[in-house]
Amino acid sequence: MTVAPDSVFTRLARLTEHPRATVLVRCAGALSGQDVTAAQLLDGCRRTADALRAAGVRRGDKAVVMTRDAYHLVACVYALISLGAVPVLIEPRAEVRRCLDEIAPGVFIGEPLAHVARRALGWGRGQVRTALVTGRGLPGRLLGRSLPLAVPDGSGPLPPVPEPRPDDLAMIAFTSGSTGQPKGVEYRCATLAGQLAALDAVLRAEPGDVLLSCFLPFAALGPLLGLTTVAPQVDHLAPARTPPGSLVGPLRRHRATHVLGSPAVLGLIAGHCVRHGLTLPSVRRVLSFGAPLRPRLAEMLAKALPPGAEILSVYGATECLPVAAIDAQELRVRPPAGHVGTCLGRPLPGVRARILDADGTGLGEIAVAGPMVSPAYHARPDATRAAKSLADGALWHRTGDLGRLDGEGRLWYLGRSAHLVIGEGFALTTEDIEAAADTAAGVRRTALVGVGAAGRQRAVLCVEPEPGARRDAVVEALRAVLGDHPDARRIATVLFHPRFPTDIRHNSKIDRARLATYAAGGRR
Ligand SMILES: Nc1ncnc2c1ncn2[C@@H]1O[C@H](COP(=O)(O)OP(=O)(O)OP(=O)(O)O)[C@@H](O)[C@H]1O
């Protein structure tokens, strides 16, 4: 018998069971913060929903929410969903205008700076009819109507939470755009419920657990997953530049049991602990996501954790999160003969994975099916057609990732198919080379890029060295770790780069298009 997963609404309603429990902690700085109880959050959602309704926001309206404040984000997202309106999450970056032109949002809710950018850069021009400003800001009134979002005392009535239809559109979240223009991913109510159920299986939270969420949108899911959620002050435009103390301070102060972040952010935490001789005795589970977790980082992190704590690398994408998870100790498993790349673990309960268009060695594109898979891109029928298909009574999503399934049902990751390096008579997957090259002493990370036209590309291994590492020593170390790699001879050039360009969401996905331009000599 399959049990329908709890919807966002069931989970919201469940927050009323312990109204005085802290569910969200907003960190305004390394030392200060504000605790929000379940009653305050629900009261705040109701007030926000009332204010949105009064401003003319209606069921089905698409509303961009752009704020760095965790409470504002959570209150707005829950309030919009409870009204049947659709929150749209997108990072402030170069392509926002084009992305919003596709989505055509009628409502824009954001902090003053987001509205300044909206006005200056024409985001949603001709579409946004209701502009609402969150937080206190000088030019607020010039930019739009102010949305009152002070944390209430929690004594007001709780919001009515109607049970929606599973197929109702609940949210749109944009991909990070590492293989082209970001796409707006549709989450139906059933998709969100599926994601929450799959995340329950990964987090395995117990009453009283505390999540430090270093990725802001995830702070909105934490309370629904039954965790008190701490939102530290991350530099959301450049997470890797966050002062590590503003992550480790709240983690230790609030005795986080679960920590969630990208490898770049987890690297900050691990580095800070090593430098200051700190330990993190409260932590039971660390979740890394967004890019491969390297064993070296996992080992550094493990030194700060108590015995028995788990470090998991969680694989997924905006369109399907989470898909699989692997304990860092297993990351070191040797691939079965002929298999290369990085192990992602087994698909989570309820998730199915298969390899499409596999070659003779079993390598092909990873496709996934399950309740957490988004059924469509918003207003992009071409992209939806290319990525989704029906088979065996399920909707399958092509991830754009290359991989394999081994005899034990484990998935292996070989990189994105868009990043395959195709030269004369050979094809190199990025993860095949990089997983090995990243183990070399003095190497921070590597990226394999192709220079030239596909089919005649030159393989260039870009290397970001550790600070202070000597180049000749790094090249020697690379020779040693790639020595017996069957495809290492295909690498035409090793090129040093001081700091790789990365995505703005996680600072963990290497911007390979820019590196390839750099490698071709047209430095950017
Ligand atoms: N644990 C992991 N190990 C390896 N790669 C991962 C892991 N988690 C995520 N990824 C990579 O991140 C991708 C998902 O990223 P995301 O949804 O943020 O945007 P994107 O797919 O990069 O954007 P776009 O589709 O616009 O290029 C996955 O397809 C995979 O390549």
How far, in Å, from the CA of 504 to the mean position of ligand 1?
13
Angle, CA of 341, 347 and 348, to the nearest 5°: 140
The position carrying tokens 């790789």 is 500
Residue nearest to atom 13 of ligand 1 (CA): 317
Residues framing ligand 1 (Cβ under 6 A):
175-180, 182-183, 289-292, 313-318, 399-401, 413, 416, 509
What is the value of ipTM here, to two decimals?
Answer: 0.97
CATH architecture for the domain at 420-519: 2-Layer Sandwich (3.30)
Q: What percent of the chain has pLDDT over 70?
A: 95
Q: Residue 107's beta-bridge partner residues? A: 63, 130
Given a contact cutoff of 8 angstroms between Cβ atoms, the answer to whether 111 and 66 are in contact is: yes
Weakly modelled stretches of the chain, pLDDT under 70: 1-4, 29-32, 137-142, 161, 334-339, 522-524
- Per-residue pLDDT at 62: 98
Residue nearest to atom 5 of ligand 1 (CA): 291
Q: What is the pLDDT of residues 150-186, one digit of tens each?
A: 999 998 887 776 777 889 999 999 998 888 889 999 9
Pocket test for ligand 1, best of 175, 265, 342 (most atoms within 8 A of CB): 175
Pocket test for ligand 1, best of 401, 503, 506 (most atoms within 8 A of CB): 401
Q: Where are the domains of the chain?
A: 420-519
Classify each residue of 64-86 as buried b or exposed e, where b means 16 or more C-beta atoms within 10 Å of its C-beta.
Answer: bbbbbbbbbbbbbbbbbbbbbbb
Closest ligand 1 atom to 418 CA: 27
Task: Give me the chain's average pLDDT, please.
Answer: 92
Pocket test for ligand 1, best of 98, 176, 410, 504 (most atoms within 8 A of CB): 176
Q: What is the pLDDT of residues 293-325, one digit of tens each?
A: 999 999 999 999 999 999 999 999 999 999 999
φ and ψ of 272, to 5 deg: -65, -45
How far, in Å, from the CA of 291 to the mean position of ligand 1?
6
Length of the chain: 524
Which pTM does this prediction carry?
0.94
How far, in whole angstroms, is CA 289 from its chain's centroid?
6
